[in-house]
Amino acid sequence: MLEHAEALSALAPAIVHGFTTRRGGFSQGRYATLNMGGKWGDDPEAVRRNQEAVAAAGGYAVEQLVRVKQVHGAAVLRASEVGPDREADALWCHRDDGPCVVGVLTADCVPVLLADREGTAVAAVHSGWRGTVAGVSAAAVRALQGAGVSPARLVVAIGPCIEQPAFEVGEEVACQFDDAFVERERWPKPHVDLVGVVRSQLLGLGVPPGSIVRVGGCTHDQPERYFSFRRDGAGIGQMMSFIGLPG
């Protein structure tokens, strides 16, 4: 049901986190079984039960979870700022905000979880290719920095997502990335290393190399374990990545 980063688990006991897989839930058909999103037509009751199961396994109360409408951009919101009409692709919260868990949904995009070593602040990031170009992970680091968290004190986990061998794109997309992260020789069309780009952005803001860990595998290549929009199209399930200070 959940995958964890040991580096995050080793932090302050008050922090909870996890990357869901597609296993261990109640949804049926194309959504089987642990679909965490209601975007593409799953039974709302099944999604509700899935959310409750993940909360129980993750160590937080369902009502503590904060999510926001994701739009493939670089906006970052504090959980206390989230409202019905707000849009963002990264959420963060501070211990002073009270009990709170922030989460993002993905089905190939790069999920990134961040926490400071003192257990005072956390963030969850949804980094699709557009958000990766826009630097949403870097924006989340800057938001935490603005709250007094040094990038040098962060621990970051990059979760299950589509990896370079499966992420074929057109040149109109590839040209938006640094050539260091685009492979044009190995395959007929360009392939982009989204994980490499995100990691580079984090390093560029001062997150120590040893504090960035990778969790899980390629969503596209493991249909029994992960949902994948690129592999299966719309009308499938979504995974959730969460991190928080539930109190």
Please, what are the domains in the chain? 2-245 (3.60.140.10)
Secondary structure letter of residue 87 according to DSSP: B
Q: Give me the pLDDT at residue 83, please.
A: 93
* Identity of the residue numbered 51: Q
Nearest to 131 by CA among 190, 184, 177: 177
174 close to 164: Cβ distance less than 8 angstroms: no
Task: Please name the helix (run of DSSP H) or strand (run of DSSP E) that holds residue 174, with its range, or none.
Answer: helix 171-174
In whole angstroms, what is the distance from residue 91 CA to residue 124 CA?
5
pLDDT along the chain (247 residues), means of 10: 97 94 97 96 97 98 98 98 96 97 98 97 98 98 98 98 98 98 98 98 98 98 98 96 96
Closest CA to 28 of 238, 237, 201, 219: 237
Residue 53 near residue 24, CB atoms below 8 Å = yes
Strands 154-158 and 121-127: unpaired
- Inter-residue contact 227 to 35 (CB < 8 Å): yes
3-state helix/strand/coil string of 128-142? CHHHHHHCHHHHHHH
Gap between the Cα atoms of 35 and 23, Å rounded: 9
Q: What is the pTM of this model?
A: 0.98
- Report the 10 Å Cβ neighbour count for 170: 9
CA–CA separation, 99 vs 94, rounded Å? 9
Tell me the CA end-to-end span of the chain in Å, nearest whole number. 23
Q: Which of 85, 123, 80, 82 is nearest to 98 (CA)?
A: 80
Residue closest to 3 by CA, chosen among 16, 21, 26, 15: 21
pLDDT of residue 188: 97
In the prediction, which pLDDT does 247 show?
A: 87
Cα gap 208→150, rounded to integer Å: 11
Among 102, 137, 95, which Cα is nearest to 116's? 95
pLDDT at 51: 98
